[in-house]
Structure 1
C-alpha cells in the first residue's frame, strides 16, 4: 500500500531520550503518539506530480520513497510509544507525498548532522526533517517548500502580554533566547530598533537547557520565551502553563521556509513541489498541519528553490 512505513537505523540512545518527552500524559491528550496513527490523513495519487519526475531519476528502492528524518522531538518527529516507529508532522507529510507519487514510504531515522552526507551519497531520495532553505544549502541541494520556518513567542498562561507582532511590542521585556541562534540575531536587531526609537531595551536571558528557561518563565524571572514554534506548541500542550502570543519568521523581515531537500539536479524537486501543491489544493495539507497544531506554519503554495536565508 502506498505510504506504508518501515524503519531502519534506529538509534537506541535517541529513542530512549525522546520517549521521555513523549510519555507525558498532558501532551498525550492532545497529540497521538501511538505507532498506528489511526488519524493520519492519506492522499490520492497525483498523476501530474508523477509525470514531472525526471525520466532519468532512479529511486533508491524501486517502488519506494525513501526519506530521511531526524527524530528531534514532537510534534515534528519523534519515536512513538513502541520505541521504534517515527511519528509526527514530518512523517505524516512524507506519507502524503509518498501517496501522491504512488509509492510506499520508507522512513530512515538519522541524526541531524548526518543527513547532508547521506543525501549526497544516495542513501535516500529526500530529507523531510524541518530543513530550512538557505542560499548556502542551495549550492548542494534542491528544495521544495512545505512549511513556514517560524519561531514562537510564548508567555505564562496568566501573563498580561497580549500580542507580540513587531519590535516595539518587546520593548522592556525580559526574553529567554538561545545563544547563537537565529532568533537571538533577530532580537538583537529588534533591540537596536527599539533603542533607536527611544524605547526601553530588551533584556535577553540565556539558560543551559529548556527546563531552566521554563522555570525562569514560571517564576516570573522572565516575561517571554522564544524558540522554534513547533517545540513550544508541544510544551504548551504538555504543561498547560504557557501560551502563544506571536510568531516570528526565521528570515525576518522576510519569510523563511522549510522544505523537502533533494540532491542538486536530481530531477525530483519539481515533482515534489507539484505534489505539495496538490496536497494544498485537496485539503490534505491543511488537515495534516491542523492535526499536529501547526496551522500557523501553513504556506499558500509550494515553491522550488525560493530565496533562502543569505550567507552569513
Structure 2
C-alpha cells in the first residue's frame, strides 16, 4: 500500500450552495491511534459485573474492508487505522480498558452485538427509529451521504428523486442510503418515471471498477469515503448529497447499560480535545458533534 500526504477537497452542500473545504490526511503520520487518559467518571458508569466479551478489553466491531478515512489497514496490513478505530481507541482508553478491534462485515455486527460477541460496533452506523428498538446509541459524528460519478460523466447533479430515475446506482444493502434511494424510486414510479436500479457489490474494488467501466452510473454512500477517493484518484466527482443528515453512533446492545459509560467517554474526549484531533486528521471536521447524545431522534422518527 502506498502512503502519502493527501490533500482532500471535500465538497459539501450548504442549503443550495456548494462549499469547499480542504484538509490534509497524512496516512504515514496516522499509523498510530490517538490516545486518551482514563476518565474516572466514565469508568464509574460501567455497570457492575458487566460481562465484557473479553475480560479487561473493549471488543469493538469495525469495517473489515478498506474504506478510508473510516477504516483501513496500516502499512503492516494487520493494524486497523482510520477515524472509526481511532474513536474506538479513545473510548477504550477513557474506560480504562484495552482495545480489542475486530474487523468484520456490515451484515455481522447486528448479530454480534445482540449475542455479546462484541461490546460495541463503530461502523459508521446511522441512528434510525428501527435500530433503536434493538440497540442503544451514543453519537460521535453526523453522517453526510454523497452521490459520486465518474469524473467524465455527463451527470452533474443528483439532488432530488427525479435525478435518479433510470440510473444504475451502487448502494450498500441494509443501509440508510439504500432506504433513501428506494424511497426516491417509489416516488418516481408513482410519477411514471423510469425505475432506479440499485447495484450491490461485494467490495470497494468492485465498486470502483463498476464506476470506471461504465457498468453503473453512480455511487451513493458516506461522503467522507467518496470525497477521499475523489481526491486521491481524480477519477470520480461529487454531484450531490442525500436529503438527510443523520447521527452516526457507537452502537451497543439495548438496555445493557454500557451506552452511558461510552457516552461519558466520548463527551470527555470532546472536552479534552482528542476527539477533534481524530476528526481533523481524517478530514471529517465538518461532521463533528458538539456533544455525544444517547439515543437521539433518528431516521424515521
TM-score, length basis structure 1: 0.70
Cα distance in 2 for residues equivalent to 1:89 and 1:287: 10
Cα distance in 2 for residues equivalent to 1:85 and 1:293: 20
Give 1:1-312 correspondences, 5 Å limit.
23=1, 25=2, 28-30=4-6, 37-38=31-32, 40-75=33-68, 76-154=70-148, 167=160, 177-178=169-170, 182-183=176-177, 185-186=179-180, 209-215=206-212, 225-244=219-238, 246-248=240-242, 252=244, 255-310=245-300
CA shift for structure 1 position 176: 5.5
CA contact 1:52–1:270 (8 Å) conserved in 2:
yes
CA shift for structure 1 position 72: 2.4
Instruction: Classify the secondary structure of the residue corresponding to 2:88.
Output: helix
Cα distance in 2 for residues equivalent to 1:159 and 1:286: 35
Unaligned runs of 5+ in 1: 1-22
CA shift for structure 1 position 239: 0.7
Deviations 1:136-168 (A, max 9, x none): 32222211111222211345668999987x539
CA contact 1:35–1:81 (8 Å) conserved in 2:
no
| Length, aligned pairs only | 275
Instruction: Flag the 1:193–1:85 CA change in 2: closer, same or farther, 3 A.
Output: same
Cα distance in 2 for residues equivalent to 1:202 and 1:130: 31
Instruction: Classify the secondary structure of the residue corresponding to 1:227.
Output: strand
Unaligned runs of 5+ in 2: 7-24
CA shift for structure 1 position 177: 2.3
Cα distance in 2 for residues equivalent to 1:279 and 1:175: 43
Alignment root-mean-square deviation, CA: 3.8
Cα distance in 2 for residues equivalent to 1:59 and 1:133: 23
Deviations 1:176-227 (A, max 9, x none): 523676446535766898999xxxx89957666523553267x9x96x6432
Instruction: Flag the 1:90–1:303 CA change in 2: closer, same or farther, 3 A.
Output: same
Instruction: Flag the 1:161–1:299 CA change in 2: closer, same or farther, 3 A.
Output: farther
Instruction: Classify the secondary structure of the residue corresponding to 1:52.
Output: coil
Cα distance in 2 for residues equivalent to 1:187 and 1:121: 31
CA contact 1:167–1:191 (8 Å) conserved in 2:
no
CA contact 2:129–2:300 (8 Å) conserved in 1:
yes
CA shift for structure 1 position 122: 2.2
Q: Which has the higher helix share?
A: 1
Cα distance in 2 for residues equivalent to 1:59 and 1:185: 33
Cα distance in 2 for residues equivalent to 1:162 and 1:43: 43
Instruction: Flag the 1:163–1:70 CA change in 2: closer, same or farther, 3 A.
Output: same
